[in-house]
Structure 1
Amino acid sequence: MNNYSYTDLPSRRERLFIALRVPTHIQNVLRMSAEQVQGKLDFRKWTDYRDYHITLQFLGDTLVSDIGLLRKTLRSVTVGTHPFELQLSGWGTFGLEEAPKVLWKGVEGEIDQLHLLQKRIVDATSSLGFKAELRPYSPHITMARKFLGHNPGNGDKGIFGLFPELFLGVNSWIVQDFVLYVTQSGQAPMYEVVDTFSFS
């Protein structure tokens, strides 16, 4: 655990989620890609490169007094979980094509292992009262939110015609753990690690 402390305020609620961290060399690749198009695409908020992650489960507002049991439950998920490889893939959006809510970067590689890990986490936390999302799990890295501008053209490609097709550097990594994040609104970076769960 980093500087985050929760033992003194058990009745407070914190906004938590479980995710895969994006390693530094992947952060840099994504940051360089984003910088190439930020001046051309009018999104309200671009993700701080230090906050890049792949969400596994959003937990929402959680009592601080419940974090201890949550950490114990998540540690049980690591038993028998093995490292796996992921790599960056293409760009995508959520929402209307002409006014997307989210711009994201996809991942590929050992996706079956990623889906299995996500399912094991959701199954484990369900015993604590956390609910799984109804929509199918779609792993991605959020790059920006809420498109405010107009479609810049580029023929049939729309906004995707502005993105670099080549990766700058190594675009794969080995996943060896997952983390529990707390959201610190108004700070940069906004997400702070509560605990790290290494595969055993």
Structure 2
Amino acid sequence: MEKLLAEIRNCKTCLPFLEHGVHPVLSAHPKSKIAIIGQAPGSIVHKTGIPWDDKSGERLRDWLGVDTSGFYNAELFALIPMGFCYPGKGKSGDLPPRGECAPQWHKLLFRSLNEIDLILLIGSYAQKYYLNDRAKNTLTETVQNFEAYLPKYLPLPHPSPRNNIWFKKNPWFNDDLIPVLREEIMRYQI
């Protein structure tokens, strides 16, 4: 695992396409129990090199009901984005994750993550990649039908503050899904 993580952190596959350079950000351990598959690092995470080290990460930790030390315990959580480097800014926010990372690295990572019991799929990129044709037409539909993907997967919207309107329009998320998510996480005695 250490060798694989070093290879990923030294990956330069997308260098020609990344205005801010490569800085792959992830965290994993052979004993990780829960994989959190996110989108791609934002500009803050690109600078700090710490996964989910931003407002989105604060909201995610709140959803999970874990503190920072529990969240960054790699024996518990593997933090794996779809794209390992910050993709840059687009017209309406960050660009999508680069498409090269997941096919190049995810299978190799999961071969070394033998104790993963639950995979949290955050955002439509992770959901479409991992659920394939089982994903519904929209992120909202996929997340609403979260029970259909358990016990292996649990789809979530992205916790970005940019999604505050979505959260206001979908109060069922906090009422119905968050309690199930926390119950799942509590099985690991966090």
Q: What's the TM-score, normalizing by structure 1? A: 0.25
| Structure of higher CA gyration radius | 1
Q: What's the TM-score, normalizing by structure 2? A: 0.26
- More relative contact order in 1 or in 2 (CA 8 Å, sep 6+)? 1
Kindly indicate which of the two structures has a greater share of residues assigned to helix. 2
Kindly indicate which of the two structures has a greater share of residues assigned to strand. 1
